[in-house]
Structure 1
Amino acid sequence: MDYSTDYTTYAEAIAELFRATYAASEGAEEGALIGALARRLIVETPAEDLRVFSAWEDGTLLGGIFFTRLTYASDPRTVFMMAPVAVATAHQGKGIGQRLIAHGLDALRREDVDIAVTYGDQAFYGRVGFEPVSEADLPAPQPLQQSQGWIAQSLTDAPLTPLRGTARCVAAFDDPALW
């Protein structure tokens, strides 16, 4: 399996991966929503606020992951949110998602990112180091529909301590329907 950070050349393939994967697991409406989100992230998000990793094998796109910057008004730490994540339906259950996540988190560590956060299944993401956090300790940029899915991890040797100030996400995520 090879990893790529080239999201501009493969923008349509990546967006289609997210549409198809979410449509297969969550229905056509969710597939359309997440496919459109992937397109918006690629087109609208400044490069300094976006990291995209994709996994390929023999020219086939197996999976993709987005990391976007979160900023906190009174906190200097660098925070990136991991979302969305997708593995092609035919390739699920083979550990591709976890290897892709680990690859992305390692790349963020090399960039001296302090914290990674995501909103999802604690059992799955816990396998790659994410732990539950409260909105009091790590404010979300929008109200969370399910607070038990807000999880994070320190990417440094420092413990995960509360973030200070109001959270701001990239424009594509600034939609309550995504939270």
Structure 2
Amino acid sequence: MTDDTIKLSAFTTNATDDVIELFTQSFGDAEGEVEGKVIGHLVSELIVTTPETDLLGFVATIENKIVGAIFFSRLTLANKANAFILSPVAVSTAFQAKGIGQKLINFGLKQLKDNGVELVFTYGDPNYYVKVGFNPVSEDCIKAPLILTYPEGWLAQSLVGTEIEPIEGDSFCVDALNEQSYW
């Protein structure tokens, strides 16, 4: 597999079923069938319930087969900064550890930056996400939308080249992510 065999593009709703299956399968393989179904349902809800202006998705394909996908959804901050949260991302089990996830994240971040997004957040493994520019952010600096069970996983990066300044007040995610079990 070479870089030119991986095609990165915007998610379109005609790929909905394939993308839900990708998330269900890859999370199921990694964390068990129940978790796979939970994340598959999350992706379905993101696609169906999130306004088009508040959701950006991207896919990685090899020979016209979707092998990776990522979603970014609006995160509303008290200071009205243009912000999104990366969640979730999946790569087909057969294609993991080949850099596809990082390529997808970097591609998505570039698209967000090109569209005027200032801040991007995620909630996950800091050891993975620091490789693509995310850094831990304290809730004293910017509050997460819901209670974090793993505070070290609250991460952010500026897409405008400035240091992340504290933002007082609450933040709000899209309805599909507004479920404590995801946090």
TM tier, smaller:
over 0.9
Superposed displacement of residue 39, structure 1: 0.4
> SS where residue 83 of structure 1 aligns?
strand
Match of 1:131 among 130, 135, 151: 135
| 1:50 maps to amino acid | L
Match of 1:7 among 3, 7, 12: 12
> Residue 11 of structure 2 contacts residue 56 of structure 2 at CA under 8 Å; is this kept in 1?
no
Structure 1 unpaired stretches of 5+: none
Match of 1:157 among 152, 156, 161: 161
Superposed displacement of residue 4, structure 1: 2.1
In structure 1, C-alpha distance between the alignment counterparts of 2:115 and 2:126, rounded to whole Å: 25
Match of 2:145 among 141, 145, 148: 141
In structure 2, C-alpha distance between the alignment counterparts of 1:89 and 1:176, rounded to whole Å: 27
> Residue 21 of structure 1 contacts residue 86 of structure 1 at CA under 8 Å; is this kept in 2?
yes
**Which aligned pairs between 1:74-93 and structure 2 lie closer than 5 A?**
75-93=79-97
In structure 2, C-alpha distance between the alignment counterparts of 1:76 and 1:141, rounded to whole Å: 14
In structure 2, C-alpha distance between the alignment counterparts of 1:44 and 1:30, rounded to whole Å: 21
Match of 1:44 among 40, 46, 49: 49
Superposed displacement of residue 136, structure 1: 1.4
Could you state the TM-score of these two structures normalised by the residue count of structure 1?
0.97
Structure 2 unpaired stretches of 5+: 1-5
Superposed displacement of residue 2, structure 1: 1.1
Match of 2:34 among 29, 32, 41: 29
Match of 1:121 among 121, 125, 130: 125
Superposed displacement of residue 59, structure 1: 1.1
Could you state the TM-score of these two structures normalised by the residue count of structure 2?
0.95
- Number of equivalences: 178
Please tell me the root mean square deviation across aligned C-alpha atoms, in Å.
0.8
In structure 1, the partner of 2:3 is none
> SS where residue 143 of structure 1 aligns?
coil
In structure 2, C-alpha distance between the alignment counterparts of 1:42 and 1:119, rounded to whole Å: 19
> SS where residue 142 of structure 2 aligns?
coil
In structure 2, C-alpha distance between the alignment counterparts of 1:48 and 1:137, rounded to whole Å: 26
> Residue 83 of structure 2 contacts residue 118 of structure 2 at CA under 8 Å; is this kept in 1?
yes
| Aligned: 1:103 with 2:121 | no
